[in-house]
Amino acid sequence: MMITKIFSPAETSQAAEEIKLGELVAFPTETVYGLGADATNEQAVKRVYLAKGRPSDNPLIVTVSSPEMAADYIADYGEYGRELIRTFWPGPLTIVFKIKTGSLSSVVTGGLTTAAFRMPENETTRKMIAEAGVPIVGPSANSSGKPSPTTAQHVFHDMEGKIAGILDDGPTKVGVESTIIDLSTSKPAVLRPGGITPQQIEAVIGCSVDASQHKVGAKETPKAPGMKYKHYAPAAQVLIVAPNDWQQALDWAGKQDEKIGVMALTKTLNTSIPKNVVTYDMGGDLASATHRLFDGLRYFDNEQKVNWILACSFEEKGLGAAYMNRLKKSSGDSYFEPQA
């Protein structure tokens, strides 16, 4: 079995060397950890799909160290591309552009004429990419369908023996993946909500964006990750709990013969908790809960082995839209339903 090395932030050159050799290296961003491979090396990219168990029609984000690196592949910036790059890069915004014919393998693009590009905020990762001298693909560094990794330990749990190394720069800051906006069509459209809200984008480009998140059919190839397949799902069934339903949810949990996990705000946990319930504190507000969401799901999956997970919900606006997008996918859109 391959030995998976842990690289410190001072060892970006060693991590970059592995990338140049066609190996896979997980890397930190401000959102979640990504799984990196040379985006120009078709065989290396194929191994990313294999390591993750990822469907081959699920395209990969191309992660760059600078706007200039992305420019080698982008055919058309559209009306708003350069302004969004100036405003939000480096940062948690991924942009779908039309690409130059033949500039990227169909293994990266899923056979589309577009690709999604991102320049992460994390300086350690940008340094590694610059030292490798090539853009890298960057899907989340987890087994496909499972909660995304926000620490190097999460990555190691899923990828030990499957990849050459992990560039460890501590826990991520945002906790959910980047916003993806499509600029390859006439009207800008948010394909996946994230840390940058539609309102922030609209303020920059001066027009409205389509935030309806078009559903992808079974035979369609999605333009971006997270649009088609089940994501973020732990082994236990997740139930979303509305803010006013927590007392009934805890009463229900206490009557079960099974081990129940509860992911809730601190104020919710400052109450009587049944003995069969294990808690995970999501902090005091939406930003904290978003940062801790995937860590909480993994805590119950990997350490506590619960049968059910009850999780707090928020209004679906701003960052709440990104949080609820991930939570709905992890639960299969299942809610706790109070008994009348």
Give the helix/strand (H/E) hosting 282: none
Based on the domain organization, do 143 and 26 belong to the same domain?
A: yes
> Which of 214, 183, 188, 185 has its CA nearest to residue 199?
188
**Alpha helices in 266-318, H assignment, sequence order:** 266-269, 286-298
Would you say residue 126 lies in a domain?
A: yes
pLDDT score at 235: 92
pLDDT score at 207: 94
Would you say residue 215 lies in a domain?
A: no
Give the helix/strand (H/E) hosting 163: none
pLDDT score at 165: 99
Which residue range forms the structural domain that includes residue 290? 237-331
Distances (CA, A) of 152 to 90, 100, 142, 208: 21, 35, 11, 38
313 annotated to bind ligand: no
pLDDT-derived band at 220 (thresholds 50, 70, 90) equals low
118 annotated to bind ligand: yes
> Which of 129, 132, 105 has its CA nearest to residue 34?
129
Based on the domain organization, do 194 and 281 belong to the same domain?
A: no
pLDDT score at 78: 94
Would you say residue 222 lies in a domain?
A: no
**CATH of residue 320:** 3.40.50.11030
What is the DSSP pairing of strand 25-27 with strand 34-38? antiparallel
Q: Which of 206-215, 228-237, 323-332 is predicted with the least confidence, judged by mean pLDDT?
A: 228-237
Does 260 score more than 70 pLDDT? Answer: yes
Based on the domain organization, do 181 and 47 belong to the same domain?
A: yes
31 annotated to bind ligand: yes
Based on the domain organization, do 22 and 161 belong to the same domain?
A: yes
pLDDT-derived band at 227 (thresholds 50, 70, 90) equals low
Does 269 score more than 90 pLDDT? Answer: yes
Our count of domains for the chain comes to: 2
Would you say residue 136 lies in a domain?
A: yes
pLDDT score at 58: 78
Would you say residue 310 lies in a domain?
A: yes
80 annotated to bind ligand: no
* Per-residue pLDDT tens over the stretch 47-69: 999 999 987 777 899 999 999 99
Based on the domain organization, do 137 and 286 belong to the same domain?
A: no
54 annotated to bind ligand: yes
pLDDT score at 1: 78
Would you say residue 80 lies in a domain?
A: yes
Would you say residue 246 lies in a domain?
A: yes
> For the chain, what percent of residues have pLDDT higher than 90?
88
DSSP of 89-145: -SSSEEEEEEE-TTSS-HHHHTT-SEEEEE--S-HHHHHHHHHHTS-EE--BSS-TT
114 annotated to bind ligand: yes
Average pLDDT on 108-120 reads: 95
Based on the domain organization, do 201 and 257 belong to the same domain?
A: no
184 annotated to bind ligand: no
pLDDT-derived band at 222 (thresholds 50, 70, 90) equals low
Based on the domain organization, do 187 and 41 belong to the same domain?
A: yes
Average pLDDT on 18-27 reads: 99
Would you say residue 221 lies in a domain?
A: no
pLDDT score at 20: 99
**CATH of residue 100:** 3.90.870.10
Based on the domain organization, do 75 and 14 belong to the same domain?
A: yes
What is the pLDDT of the chain when averaged over all its residues? Answer: 94
* Per-residue pLDDT tens over the stretch 65-99: 999 999 999 999 999 999 999 999 999 999 999 99
Distance of CA 153 to the CA centre of its chain: 16
pLDDT-derived band at 221 (thresholds 50, 70, 90) equals low
pLDDT score at 225: 61
DSSP of 51-103: HHT--TTS--EEE-SSHHHHHTTEEE-TTTHHHHHHHH-SSSEEEEEEE-TTS
pLDDT-derived band at 256 (thresholds 50, 70, 90) equals very high
Based on the domain organization, do 195 and 135 belong to the same domain?
A: yes
Identify the domain boundary among 205, 221, 255.
Answer: 205
pLDDT-derived band at 215 (thresholds 50, 70, 90) equals low
pLDDT score at 56: 73
178 annotated to bind ligand: yes
Q: What residues are paired with 98 via a beta bridge?
A: 76, 114
Q: What residues are paired with 117 via a beta bridge?
A: 62, 95
Does 316 score more than 90 pLDDT? Answer: yes
pLDDT-derived band at 229 (thresholds 50, 70, 90) equals low
Average pLDDT on 238-254 reads: 97
Average pLDDT on 298-322 reads: 96
Based on the domain organization, do 102 and 159 belong to the same domain?
A: yes
Based on the domain organization, do 275 and 165 belong to the same domain?
A: no
Based on the domain organization, do 70 and 166 belong to the same domain?
A: yes
pLDDT score at 340: 61
pLDDT score at 55: 77
Quote the crossing angle between the two packed helices 81-88 and 198-205, to the nearest 10°.
Answer: 120
Identify the domain boundary among 183, 205, 227.
Answer: 205
148 annotated to bind ligand: yes
